[in-house]
Structure 1
Amino acid sequence: MSTPPFLPLIDPSGSTLLPSLALLGPVLIPSTLVQAVLPTLPPQASYYVQAENSNDDIISYLDNGAQKIVVTSSQLEELGGQVPKERLILKLDEQEISIAQDFAQQISGIYVISSIAHTSKSLVIPNLEIYLQNPSPNPTELLELIKTSRPSSYVIPTEYLAASAKTTSTHLSISEAFLAPIISDRPDGLFPTIVSSSNHSIKPLGLVYSSKESVTEAILTQKGVYQSRKHGLWRKGETSGAVQELISVKLDCDNDALTFEVVQHGSGFCHLPQSTCFGNFNGISKLEDTLKSRLESAPEGSYTKRIFTDEKLLRSKIMEEAEELCDAKTSDHIAFEAADLLYFALARCISKGVSLKDVEKALDKKSLKITRRKGDAKPKWENKINGNGNGESASRESQPVKEESKPTEPIPKSFPEVDESRIKMRNVTLSELNKEEQKKLLLRPVLNSLAMIDKVKPIVERVRKEGDAGLKAMTKQFDKADLSSNVLLPPFATPTEEELPVDVKKAIDVAYDNVKTFHQAQAETKPLIVETMPGVQCSRFVRPIARVGVYVPGGTAILPSTAIMLGVPAQVAGCKTIVLATPPRPDGSISPEVLYVAKLVGVTCILKAGGAQAVGAMAYGTEEVPKVDKIFGPGNQWVTAAKMLVQNDTDALVAIDMPAGPSEVLVIADHTANPIFVASDLLSQAEHGTDSQVVLVGINLSNKLLQDIEDQIDIQAKALPRVAIAREAIKKSVIVLVKSEKEAIEFSNEYAPEHLILHLEKAEKVVENIENAGSVFVGAFSPESCGDYASGTNHTLPTNGFARQFSGVNTLSFQKHITSQFVSSDGLKLLGPSVVRLAEREGLEAHANAVRVRLAELSK
C-alpha cells in the first residue's frame, strides 16, 4: 500500500511514544518542532515535515532527510517545480477539496482537515494519496474507519495516541491502529512474517508467524516477539539471551503478511550453527562479518592487522585499487578490481565502526536531497588526470593527501565541506505566541532511555557474571588497552614536570583550593537537636556515604575539572572509599592531570575502565574493584543508561547523583549587556555538542543591540575549531524576546536551565527571584567557564528541566542524615497517650502495647 494506516502528528505530548511510532512508518513533525524532535528519533526512522511558517526553508527540510513535506498552495506555487511531486503533499481546507485535482500533476497527495466520518468514504482522487485529520477525533470511530476506509491514511496527533494494547474512549492504541487493516487467509488467523537483519539486508534471517497479540507486544517493547504455532507467544531470546532489537514493522502490499527488521543479538536466529534459516550470508555481507571478526582477532604484526591499524597503508591500497579499477577493460577484470576496492573500502569502514547498513543509510539520505552540487571532479583530481600544462599535475601527484581534521564529537554527515553561511539563532517574541507555542519553547530533545537501558544490559550483566576478566576484555575491546589489572591503588606516582607542566599544576591547585573551600563551608559540623515537647528530644546528624564511585569521562580526553568537582566533595564529606573510574589510554596509563587530582582528593582506587562496564563494576563490585553505594558523574548515553539501570536493581543497592541530559545554558540580557560577552557565553555552551541547548532571553533589546549580538555569534563561532558543532547547536537555539524583567524571570523559572547567566543592570538583586536553575552566573564578568573550572561551585548540575527537583552535586550529596530520639520517663507520660490512641486507631495493637507496658510500669 502507498500510504500508512495512520500518520502520527508529533506534538509536545508525544515524546514517550516516539520509540514505538518510529517502528511503524513515517511520523509527521511540525516544522516548529523539527529541531527538538529529530535528535530523539531512532536513526532508521522516516519522517514527513508539516510546514507551519510561510518562511520555512522547504528545500532544506527535504535535503536534510524529510521524505515528504506538507505545504500550502502558496508555498507550492513559490517552489515552482523545484521539488519532485513524489515529495510534496498539499494541505487543503475542507471547502478546497474540489480544487485538489488541479494540482494533481505537482503533488503526490493531499492533507485535509475535515470531519472524517463523511469525507473518508467520498474522497477518492486518482493517483493521489489521501491524508485526513479530524479536528476532534473519536478513537473508537477512528479505529473502525482505519479498518474499513482504506486507502486513506489518518493523521492523528500524538495526544490522542497511547502505547497500550487496547483503544479507549480517549486514546487510540498504536498497535491496534497499525493492525486494523491486516487480514489473514490462514485457518489459525496467523500472519506470515519475514524477519530480516538490520545489518544484513541481502538475505532474510527466517520465516515465522505473528498474531495480533505478538505484534502488539513487539511494538510496545521494541523487541522481536512472534507466535509459535506449537507453543504460543514466543519472545525471541527470552531463554537463550539471543534477543532481537526491533527496528521496523511493515505490512505487505496485500495487508496479509509482515516484515520485521531487527538487530539480532547473541548466538543468532537459527537453531542450527548458521547465520540464517536459509544458510550463511555470502558475498559482501559475508565479507563484512569476516572483516569484523578479523578486526578483533588478527595477530599483531600480521598484514590484516596492519590494514586496520596503519592508516597510510590502507589509504594507499584504496587509492591503488581505485586506479586499477579505472584502468581495467574487460568485464572479468573490472569485477576482479571492483572486488579488491570493495574489500579495502569496507576495511576502512569497519576500522572506524561503520557498517554496510550505515553506508546504505547514507545512500538513502543522499537520494532524498533536492539540492545537488554540479558533480564535477575536484580540481586536485581533474589536474591529476588531465594535467594543466605547467607540470602542476606531477607535483601534486607526489604530494600526500592531507587527511581532513574532525572535531572530537560526532557531527551530522550532511555538513558541506565549506559552509560560509551565517550562523544565526531563531528569534521569537514571547507575547506573540499562544500557550501551546510557548510550551514548545521549553522542549528538550526526547531521551529514549528505555532503549538505551536495553543496550547496556548485556554489558553490565557481563561484568556482573565474569567480574574482572569480563571487565578486562571489554577494556581491550573498547579502549584498546590490554591491562594486567583493572585498578590502580595508592600511593599514586607524582607526574613529572614534562608530563604535567608547572602552570597546569598551579591551575589545578587553584581550582582544587577554591572548590574545597566552598564545599567545606557546606558541611554540617554539629547535629540538629530539637525538644518537641518536655522530655522528648529529636535530633538529626550527618554521616558520610561510606563508599562512592566518581566517573570521569575520557581516555584520550583530559578532564581534571570533573575529577575535582566530584573528588573534592567526597573528600570533604569524609567518604572512606572513593573509586575514581576513567577510561585508560591505549598504553593502560591514566592522564597525568587526572592522576594528580586523584592524589589531591584522596582517591582510594582508580578503576581503569569507562562506559557502562565501569558503572557495572562499581555497582556490583569485583575482586579488584570495591562495590560502591552511590555513583556520581557525567558521561555519554551509555554511561547514563547504565547508571539508571543499576539504581533500579535491588541486587546492586546503589544510588546515583541525578538524571542527565545534553548540557544547556539560558542567558538573560537587557540594554546594558555587552554583545561580545553574551555571544561568548552562548557559544561556550554550543561547542559542547550538537544537542546542546542554548537560549537567550532578551529584555526590550533595541534592534541594534540584537543585531550586534547576532553578528558576534556569527563572528565568534566561525573562529572556533569546533565551528561545525556550534553551528548545529545554534540552529536549534532560540532568542526569546520579552518586554519586562518579570516576564524573563518567569520564562527562565519555567525552563529551569542547567546554567543561568544574568547580563542585567541589577543582576545581584534578580537572584532572589530565581526559583529553578542548576547554577546562576551573576553579572557581566561571571562567565559559565568560571563555574565549570575553578570558582568553587560544582559543575555537575541537573539538566533537561530537572533543576525544578534536583540540586547540583554538593557536599551533602556525599552524605546522609540519620535521625534519633530520646524520650525520658516524664516525656513518655506526656507523649504516650497520643501514641496509644493513634496506634489503636490504625489497628496496630502491638505498637500501642509497647507504650502501654511502659506507662503501666511508670504508674506503679
Structure 2
Amino acid sequence: MFLPSLDATDVAQASLKNSLTYLGSVLLKNTTVDSVKELIQQTGSTLFWTHASTVEEAVKLWDVGVWKVVFDISVYANVVQELAGIPEERIAVTSALENPLLDFNAVNLDTLVPASILTTDPSVKNKLNVGEAFLAAATTDRADGLYTTMVVDERNTALGLVYSSQESVKESIRLGQGVYQSRRHGLWHKGLTSGATQTLVRIDYDCDGDALRFIVKQHGAGFCHLNTRTCFGAETGLASLQQTLQSRKNSAPVGSYTARLFNDAKLLKSKIMEEAEELCDATEKDDIAWEAADLIYFALTKCVSAGVSIEDIEKNLDKKARKVTRRPGNAKPKWIEPTVAAPKPAPTPAPKPAPKKDGRIEMVTYSSNDISAEKRAKLLLRPIIDSSEISARVAPIMKDVRERGDAALKDLTAKFDRVNLEHATIKAPFNPKDMELDPLTKAAIDQAYDNIYKFHDAQMDRETLVVETMPGVVCSRFARPIEKVGLYVPGGTAILPSTTLMLGIPAKVAGCSEIVIATPPRADGTVVPEVLYVAHKVGASHVVLAGGAQAVAAMAYGTQTVPKVDKICGPGNQYVTAAKMVAQNDTSCLVSIDMPAGPSEVLVIADRTCKPSYVAADLLSQAEHGVDSQVVLVAVDLEDSILAAIEDAIHEQAIRLPRVDIIRESIPKSYTLRVNTIDEAVRFSNEYAPEHLILHIDNAARLIPDIQHAGSVFVGHYSPESMGDYASGTNHTLPTYGYSRMYSGVNTLTFVKHITSQELTAEGLDRLGDTVMRLAEIEGLDAHRNAVAIRVADIRK
C-alpha cells in the first residue's frame, strides 16, 4: 500500500493536505491529539495513521477517530501487554531506521512516502506525482491500460461504472473532482457541461488492486446522462427518503405534512417522542419494523431540517467505532423505571390552552361609520413592546463579546445555537465548493441580483452639487461611501439569500471598502451556500458565523477576526434590534444603524375591482411571518359579497399553508376596516404609516402622489409584495412599527454620507463678511468674528 506521510509542522506540505486525504490512509507526523482531532473534524476522514509514544496517548488518538497508531518497535516491545484487547489492525510498528514503515499485521509491506517529495502539479518534474504513486500498487489486464472504476456516493451506493487512466486519476486528485477517462473522447471532467459535478471524497482500490472505487459527493440532477441519480434505476429506502425530505425542505408542496413538520419544531419533537415510545412497546417482528420506519422518518426530518445528512450520521458512527474506550452506557435517571412505587406527584396547574388547530381563520371587521374616534386611534397603534427586559438580557452578551472577542462568539453560539465553531469568521476568498448551487437556484439569484443592482445603481449620487449662493461664494456637496459596513442576515436553518442581496448590493454600489456579513451558522457550522454565493457576488470580506446580539456586538466593537464596522444594517428579532440600539447609543464604539424595527406588517387598500383571492394571498404572505405580524385590510365601499369572498379565500388558502399554525394566531389579531371613499382609505393609511402598502384598486398609480408615509408601495393587482421581497429591484429592508413616517427603507444612500464644501474669493468674503461678523457678535463668539475681520481688513486696505 502507498502510504503518504504528512508533516504537520512543514508549511510547504500544507497545500497537499486535501489531496492526500483523497487517498484514504495518511500517516501524520509531528501532531498533537488536538491537531489530529481538528483535522478529522475538517476532513471527515477516520483513516489517519499517527505516532504515539505511550499507551495513554494512543488511547486518546484512537478515541478521537484515528485508525492506526504507530509505535516505534522499541516502545512497542515494552507496552505490548498493555495493548491486550486492542484489535491488531489498529496497531502498526516502525523501526528507528529510515526504511519504509513496517505493519506487522499486513501481508505486504506498506510503502511510506514523505509528502516533501510528493506533488499534484503535473509541471513539477523533480517530485513524485501523488496520482502515479497511488496507482503503483494497482494493476490492470486491459489492453488499453485503463482501470475499471466504480463510482459510489458517500453511503457507498453505486452511481455508475466508468474507466480511469493514470492521467484522469492525477487530474481528479489535483482538482478534488470526479475526472475519468472516456474510451471515445479522452479525459472526461464529470459535469463540466451538464452541471452535475462531483466533489471527490476518496479513491481506493479493491482487494486485488485491479478495480478502482471513486467515492464522491454528487451534485446536480445526478450521475446518469438520463438525469437520474444513478445508472441503475431509481433509489429506494433511506436514500430516497432523504432526497424527498431535502427537496420538500426547499420547496414544500402546499399543505404537505412534511412541510408542516419543518416549520413546527414542537410538533416534530412530539412525533419523535411518540414513535420512539411505540417502537419500545412493539414486540412482533413486523410491528418493530413498522414502528422503526416511522421513527426513522421523523428523526431524518429533524436531521434534514438542521442540514444534517445520512452521510453526516455515518461519519459520526465511524468516529464512534474508532474509539477504544467505552462509557458504562447506563440510561439517564429520567428514563430509568423506578423499582419501587414513586411518590404521587404534586398537582400541576392547568396548562394554558393551545391555539386552536381547527375552526375558521378570520379577521376582525370594523366600520368607520360605527367606530368612535378613540377606537380609530387604537386601530392605528402597534402592540406595545417592553424593551427593558430584552435590553437587560442583551447588555451582558454585548459586554462579553466586547471583552473576550472570538472566544465569546464561539461560546455564545454553542449556547444559543448549539453549534460548536472552530472559527468565528470565514474570510474571503470563499471556498468555491461551499458556494455550489443547482443551476435553477443560481439563475434565480443572478436575475434578482441584476434587477436589484440596476435599481440601486440608479440611486447613486455621482455628480457634485455646486451652487454659487452669491458672487464669489461657491458651496458644494458630494457623496462618499461609508467605509466599513456590517450586514445582519437572519437565518440559522433558514435560507435567506434575498436579505443578503438587499443589503449587500447597495453597499457594493455605494463603494464601501469593507462589507462584513453576519449570519447564524447551520448545525454543522457552515453557512448556507446561497447566502455565501451572494456574499461572494457583493464582494464581502468576512462572513461572521453568529446571530443575535452577539453578532451585532462583534461588528460594533470588532474582535480578533471580525473587523469593527461604522454602520450596521439589517432586520432581525427583538434581540437583534435591541443590540443595534445599544450599539448606536454607546459612544465608545461609534457605530450607526439603518433604522429601528418591529414586527413585519402590511396594509392593503381594496376596492370593488379587486380580485378576492389576490387580496387574501397578499394578507397571508405577511401573516405567515410570525404570530405578531400586523395585517390590515382597508375595504373601500366593498359589497358584502366581495368582502365575504375575501374572508373565504383567507381561510381556504391558509389551511393549505405549511405555516397555518402561525397564521391561526396572527390573523385573528388583524382587522378589516370598512371605509366609504378612497380619500378616507388613503388618510387612514398615511396615519398608520405601514411597512408595505398594497393598492388593489382601479387605476392605482393615480394614488401615488397622495401617499405620504409607507416603506414600499405595491401598485395594482399584479404587484404582490413578494416581487419586492425578492427580485423586482426595490429593497425589502423597510421601516416597520410606524417608522416610515421618518425613515426610508435601505437604499444606496443608506451606505453613503454627504460632505459639503465652500470656496470664497476675496470678493465673496468682502461681500459676505459684514453679515458673518454681525452674527458672531450677537452670539458673543469673538474668535469667530476675528477670523473674518482679519481677512476683511486686508482686503479693504
Please give the TM-score of this superposition, normalised by the length of structure 2: 0.57
Deviations 1:144-181 (A, max 9, x none): xxxxxxxxxxxxxxxxxxxxxxxxxxxxxxxxxxxxxx
Is the contact made by 1:535 and 1:825 (CA closer than 8 Å) also made in structure 2?
Answer: yes
How far off is 1:468 after superposition? 1.5
| 2:164 paired residue number | none
Q: Which residue identity is paired with 2:361? A: I
How far off is 1:365 after superposition? 5.4
How far off is 1:490 after superposition? 1.1
How far off is 1:493 after superposition? 2.1
Is the contact made by 1:548 and 1:579 (CA closer than 8 Å) also made in structure 2?
Answer: yes
Q: Which residue identity is paired with 2:414? A: K
Give yes or no for the alignment of 1:479 onto 2:404. Answer: no
Change (3 A) 1:830 1:716: same
Give yes or no for the alignment of 1:415 onto 2:355. Answer: yes
SS state at 1:432 partner: coil
Structure 1 residue aligned with 2:649, among 707, 712, 723?
Answer: 712
| 1:627 paired residue number | 564
Deviations 1:659-708 (A, max 9, x none): 10000000000000000000000000000000000000000000110110
Q: Which residue identity is paired with 1:460? A: M
Structure 2 residue aligned with 1:820, among 757, 766, 770?
Answer: 757
Distance in structure 2 (CA, Å) of the matches to 1:806 and 1:652? 23
Q: Which residue identity is paired with 1:426? A: V
How far off is 1:477 after superposition? 1.9
How far off is 1:484 after superposition? 2.6
Distance in structure 1 (CA, Å) of the matches to 2:481 and 2:367? 48
Give yes or no for the alignment of 1:464 onto 2:472. Answer: no
Q: Which residue identity is paired with 1:477? A: K
Q: Which residue identity is paired with 2:600? A: S
Distance in structure 2 (CA, Å) of the matches to 1:691 and 1:365? 25
How far off is 1:480 after superposition? 2.4
Distance in structure 1 (CA, Å) of the matches to 2:523 and 2:644? 48
Q: Which residue identity is paired with 2:702? A: K
Query: Unaligned regions of 5+ residues in structure 1, if any?
Result: 1-299, 304-312, 343-359, 370-412
How far off is 1:415 after superposition? 2.1
Distance in structure 1 (CA, Å) of the matches to 2:674 and 2:620? 19
Distance in structure 2 (CA, Å) of the matches to 1:702 and 1:495? 57
Structure 2 residue aligned with 1:333, among 328, 341, 344?
Answer: 341
| 1:727 paired residue number | 664
Distance in structure 2 (CA, Å) of the matches to 1:365 and 1:538? 72
Is the contact made by 1:553 and 1:583 (CA closer than 8 Å) also made in structure 2?
Answer: yes
Q: Which residue identity is paired with 1:734? A: Y
Distance in structure 2 (CA, Å) of the matches to 1:703 and 1:471? 56
| 1:454 paired residue number | 392
| 1:780 paired residue number | 717
Distance in structure 1 (CA, Å) of the matches to 2:387 and 2:762? 54
SS state at 1:607 partner: strand
Distance in structure 1 (CA, Å) of the matches to 2:414 and 2:534? 25
Distance in structure 2 (CA, Å) of the matches to 1:440 and 1:496? 50
SS state at 2:674 partner: strand
Q: Which residue identity is paired with 1:526? A: E
Deviations 1:180-231 (A, max 9, x none): xxxxxxxxxxxxxxxxxxxxxxxxxxxxxxxxxxxxxxxxxxxxxxxxxxxx
Change (3 A) 1:569 1:856: same
Q: Which residue identity is paired with 2:384? A: V
Give yes or no for the alignment of 1:834 onto 2:771. Answer: yes
**Superposition map of 1:337-352 within 5 A:** none
Change (3 A) 1:496 1:481: closer
Distance in structure 2 (CA, Å) of the matches to 1:615 and 1:629? 12
Is the contact made by 1:453 and 1:644 (CA closer than 8 Å) also made in structure 2?
Answer: no
| 2:116 paired residue number | none
Distance in structure 2 (CA, Å) of the matches to 1:831 and 1:468? 56
How far off is 1:483 after superposition? 2.2
| 1:532 paired residue number | 469
**Superposition map of 1:589-604 within 5 A:** 589-604=526-541
Query: Unaligned regions of 5+ residues in structure 2, if any?
Result: 1-315, 321-329
Is the contact made by 2:355 and 2:664 (CA closer than 8 Å) also made in structure 1?
Answer: no
Is the contact made by 1:546 and 1:575 (CA closer than 8 Å) also made in structure 2?
Answer: yes
Is the contact made by 1:560 and 1:593 (CA closer than 8 Å) also made in structure 2?
Answer: yes
How far off is 1:317 after superposition? 8.9
Is the contact made by 2:616 and 2:650 (CA closer than 8 Å) also made in structure 1?
Answer: yes
Distance in structure 1 (CA, Å) of the matches to 2:342 and 2:789? 98
**Superposition map of 1:760-779 within 5 A:** 760-779=697-716
Distance in structure 1 (CA, Å) of the matches to 2:758 and 2:414? 53
**Superposition map of 1:212-251 within 5 A:** none
How far off is 1:638 after superposition? 1.0
Give yes or no for the alignment of 1:513 onto 2:521. Answer: no
Is the contact made by 1:495 and 1:596 (CA closer than 8 Å) also made in structure 2?
Answer: no
Deviations 1:357-400 (A, max 9, x none): xxx9xx5453xx7xxxxxxxxxxxxxxxxxxxxxxxxxxxxxxx
Distance in structure 2 (CA, Å) of the matches to 1:817 and 1:496? 38
How far off is 1:572 after superposition? 0.3
Distance in structure 1 (CA, Å) of the matches to 2:570 and 2:412? 21
Q: Which residue identity is paired with 1:334? A: A
Kindly name which structure, 1 or 2, has the bigger radius of gyration based on alpha carbons: 2
Deviations 1:297-334 (A, max 9, x none): xxx9999xxxxxxxxx99x997x76xx57xx7xxx523
| 2:376 paired residue number | 438
Change (3 A) 1:443 1:495: farther
| 2:547 paired residue number | 610
Please report the RMSD computed on the Cα atoms of aligned residues, expressed in angstroms: 2.2
Distance in structure 2 (CA, Å) of the matches to 1:422 and 1:838? 70
Misfit runs of 4+, over 6 Å: 300-303
Q: Which residue identity is paired with 2:773? A: V
Change (3 A) 1:365 1:681: farther
How far off is 1:472 after superposition? 1.6
